[in-house]
Structure 1
Amino acid sequence: MSGNLSSNDAPVLNWANTDIDKEVALGAVDWDALLQYAQATRQKMEKSEVPFTCQLSVENNKGGRNLVRRLHFQDGACWLVRIQLDDPTPESIQRLEQEVHTMSVVRERSEIPVPEVYAYEANYDNVFGAPFMLMEFLPGDTIMDSFGGYQVHKGKIPENFTPDFHATLADIQVQMSAIRFPQIGGIVKDSNGTYCVGPLPGIGGPFDSPAQFLEAWADHPKFPYSEKTIRERTPPQLVDEILDNIVLASQYYVIDWEDSFILPWEMVEFAKDLCMLPPALDGPLYHEDETDRKRLADRENYINLVRAAEEARGLDHHLSVTLANSTVQNFAHAMWLYQIDGRIGFYNDVINSVLGR
C-alpha cells in the first residue's frame, strides 16, 4: 500500500479531491512504483548515498488533461507529480516531451518563474502505468482555485487584483515573445543541449512561413460539436484558461506549458480574460455593450503595460504592435473559438476582414 501524507501536515490548498481511487480515468497505476521512482530520482540528483523516502498527499487536483499530487520527502522537500489522464497517442507523447523542452528553454532564456522538471516518462510503458512528470512544487493555488474557487468567482478575476496581475502578465508575455526561433513548430531540445524546432503534434512541420503553417492547420481542425449538439446546447460560456496555468504565491509562477508552441505572430493574442468576440463573427447580431467598452479599455491599458515592459527590457515593440492590431486579434481569437470553444458564427466574414485589410 502506498504511503499517504496526512492532510494535517500539508500546505493549505484549495484541493478538494481526497479519494484517488474514484479517479476512473487513471486506470491501473502503481503508486508504490511511483514512490520508488521518485526516491531513486532524488537520490541520483543529490548524489546521496543515503536513500530518500517520500509520501503522497491525500489531496489531489485535476485540470484539463492532467491530475496532480504532492510528494513529501522526509527532509521536508516537496515535489509535484503530474499525471496524464488522456489515452496514449503519438501526439500526446510528442506534446509532453515538447512541453518539458519548452519549460527548459524558458527557464534558460528568461526570468519567467517556471517549475523545474526533475524527471518524466512520456509513454504508458513505465513502472507507474501512465505518463507522468516529476517537478518542482510551487506552494500556492492556481488563480482559478484562489479567491474561493470557481464556484465563488465564476472565472472572473477580482477587480482589486487585476492591475497587479495584468502588469505581471504583460512582463511574462513580453519575455515569452523575446524567445524566438527561425521556424514555426514545437520546441525540441537536442542531446547536446541546443534547441531547435520540430513538428507540431497533429499538424506536422516545422514550417518556414505563416502561410505554410496556416495551410497545414486548415486541414486538421474539426468543429468540436455535432449539428445535433449545436441545436440543443445553451450558449457557450468563455472561461479564461490562463487562470488554470498560473500559481498565485509570493510571485506568479507559470506552471502549465502543455500547449505552448512556436507560432506565427498572426496567432499571438491577449490572455483569455482580455479577449473579445470578433464583431464580424456575430455579423448583424453584434452589438457593442458596456462590457465590451470596458474590455476595450482594459486591453488598451494592457498594451501600455506591454510597451512599458518592452522598453524596460530593451526589446522591440513587435508584441505591443501585434496586440494593438484589431484585425490580427480578431483572426487569432476566431481560430481559438472555432477549434477549442466551438463558437457558432460567421467565420468567413472574419477571414474576409483579414484579406481586405
Structure 2
Amino acid sequence: MEFVPGSTAMDAFGGSQVHGGAIPQEYRAKFHEDIAKIQTNMTSVRFPQIGMISQRENGNYDIDAIPGIGGPFGTAKDFFLAWADNAKFPMTDTLIRSQLSQLPLGMAEEIITSIHNFPLLFKEAVGRMSFREGPFPLHHPDFNHSNIIIDDAHRILSVIDWEGASTVPWEIVEFPMFLFTVPPPIDVPSKYDSAGNPISSEIQRRWEERLEYVESVKRVEEREYTDSRLSNTLACRDTQNLATSLRLYADVGKVGYYCRLLE
C-alpha cells in the first residue's frame, strides 16, 4: 500500500479504477480478502494524536488540526466534543421537507427535530461514554472502489487519493465504503423486522458480506499482528452505527432519525 498525501487517480500506472459494484462475483471473495489486509495494514499505522496527516520538510509525518473541527486531539472524547460543537447538517429544512414530502407531516417534523437536536444531545452523551485510548489509526477519507487500482485479473495494485488522510478515534473506523449500510437506528423502521433484522434481501446480503469481511480481518490480525482492534471495532454494531451516522450527518447530509442513535 502506497501512502502519498495529496495523491489522486492520476497516480495510477498500468491499472484501472474499480467503479461502483464492478467486481464480478467470482472475484469478490478474494478482492475482499485483499482489502481486509490493506485496511488492517492501514490501521496498524498509528499516531498519538487525532488530526490531519501532514508531511514535514524533512519527510516525516505529523498531525495537524482538522479543518472545521480543530485539534490535534489527545483523546477521542476531546475529538467528539469538538465534533458536536462544530457539526452542521448540510441541508436546509426546506430541502429536507421536499425529500420527505411523501411522509405524514408529523413524521417529517419529527425527523427534522431529530436532525437539529442531534449535536447537542450527542455532546451530552459523550460525557457518559467511554472511548478507546490511543494511539489512533490512519484513516482514508474515501476507502471505496473508485480509489482502488486493479489489474486485469482483479488483483489490487494500489490505493489512491490520500488527500485528506487523517488519524481518527477507533470509534470512527468503518467498513470499506462498498460494504456500506445505513445504520438501523437512523433508518426507516419499516425496513426491519421485530427482531431488528433487515427485510430487504439486498441489505441481508450486505450484512452477510460484512460478517465475512470481519473474519478476513481476524485472519490477517492472527497472522501478522498482536492485537485485534480493527476486527473488534468492525464487529461492534453500536460502534459501526455511531461511526457511519456521524459521517452521514456532517459529510453527506443523509436524512434520518439521528437522535434515535443515542437511545
Counterparts of 1:137 and 1:283 in 2: how far apart (Å)? 40
Identify if the C-alpha distance between structure 1 residues 241 and 251 changes in structure 2 by more than 3 Å, giving closer, same or farther. closer
SS in 1 for 2:34: helix
Identify if the C-alpha distance between structure 1 residues 340 and 173 changes in structure 2 by more than 3 Å, giving closer, same or farther. same
Identify if the C-alpha distance between structure 1 residues 136 and 338 changes in structure 2 by more than 3 Å, giving closer, same or farther. closer
Contact preservation (8 Å) 1:138, 1:253:
no
What amino acid sits opposite 1:242 in the alignment? N
Q: TM-score scaled to structure 2, two decimals?
A: 0.73
Which of the numbers 165, 178, 190 marks the counterpart of 1:273? Answer: 178
Which of the numbers 36, 44, 47 marks the counterpart of 1:181? Answer: 47
Indicate whether 1:171 and 2:76 are aligned.
no
Which of the numbers 320, 343, 346 marks the counterpart of 2:257? Answer: 346
Contact preservation (8 Å) 1:188, 1:196:
yes
Counterparts of 2:188 and 2:243 in 1: how far apart (Å)? 17
Question: Deviation digits for residues 61-95 of structure 1, max 9, x if unmatched?
Answer: xxxxxxxxxxxxxxxxxxxxxxxxxxxxxxxxxxx
Identify if the C-alpha distance between structure 1 residues 218 and 315 changes in structure 2 by more than 3 Å, giving closer, same or farther. same
Indicate whether 1:193 and 2:59 are aligned.
yes
Question: Deviation digits for residues 171-221 of structure 1, max 9, x if unmatched?
Answer: 010001110011100122333333321111222100011111011112223
SS in 2 for 1:161: helix
What amino acid sits opposite 1:278 in the alignment? P
Partner in structure 1 of residue 244 of structure 2 = 333
Counterparts of 1:278 and 1:136 in 2: how far apart (Å)? 34
Contact preservation (8 Å) 2:173, 2:243:
yes
Identify if the C-alpha distance between structure 1 residues 328 and 259 changes in structure 2 by more than 3 Å, giving closer, same or farther. same
Task: Identify, as 1 or 2, the structure richer in helix.
Answer: 2
RMSD across aligned positions (CA): 2.6
Identify if the C-alpha distance between structure 1 residues 157 and 137 changes in structure 2 by more than 3 Å, giving closer, same or farther. closer
Question: Deviation digits for residues 266-299 of structure 1, max 9, x if unmatched?
Answer: 0001012212221111364342122222122111
Contact preservation (8 Å) 2:87, 2:250:
yes
Q: How does 1:110-189 map to 2 (within 5 A)?
A: 112-114=1-3, 136-144=11-19, 155=21, 157-189=23-55
What amino acid sits opposite 2:244 in the alignment? H
Identify if the C-alpha distance between structure 1 residues 176 and 133 changes in structure 2 by more than 3 Å, giving closer, same or farther. closer
Contact preservation (8 Å) 1:306, 1:319:
yes
Counterparts of 2:9 and 2:177 in 1: how far apart (Å)? 28
Identify if the C-alpha distance between structure 1 residues 300 and 192 changes in structure 2 by more than 3 Å, giving closer, same or farther. same
Q: What is the Cα deviation at residue 312 of structure 1?
A: 1.9
Task: Identify, as 1 or 2, the structure richer in strand.
Answer: 1
Q: How does 1:200-279 map to 2 (within 5 A)?
A: 200-233=66-99, 242-249=144-151, 251-279=156-184
What amino acid sits opposite 1:141 in the alignment? S
What amino acid sits opposite 2:53 in the alignment? I
Partner in structure 1 of residue 206 of structure 2 = 295
Q: Which runs of 5+ in 2 are unaligned?
A: 102-141, 193-197
Q: Which runs of 5+ in 1 are unaligned?
A: 1-111, 121-131, 145-153, 353-357
Q: TM-score scaled to structure 1, two decimals?
A: 0.55
Q: What is the Cα deviation at residue 341 of structure 1?
A: 2.5
Identify if the C-alpha distance between structure 1 residues 155 and 340 changes in structure 2 by more than 3 Å, giving closer, same or farther. farther
Counterparts of 1:202 and 1:340 in 2: how far apart (Å)? 12
Counterparts of 1:228 and 1:258 in 2: how far apart (Å)? 33
Contact preservation (8 Å) 2:8, 2:162:
no
Counterparts of 1:331 and 1:194 in 2: how far apart (Å)? 32
Look at both structures and tell me which one has the larger radius of gyration over its CA atoms: 1
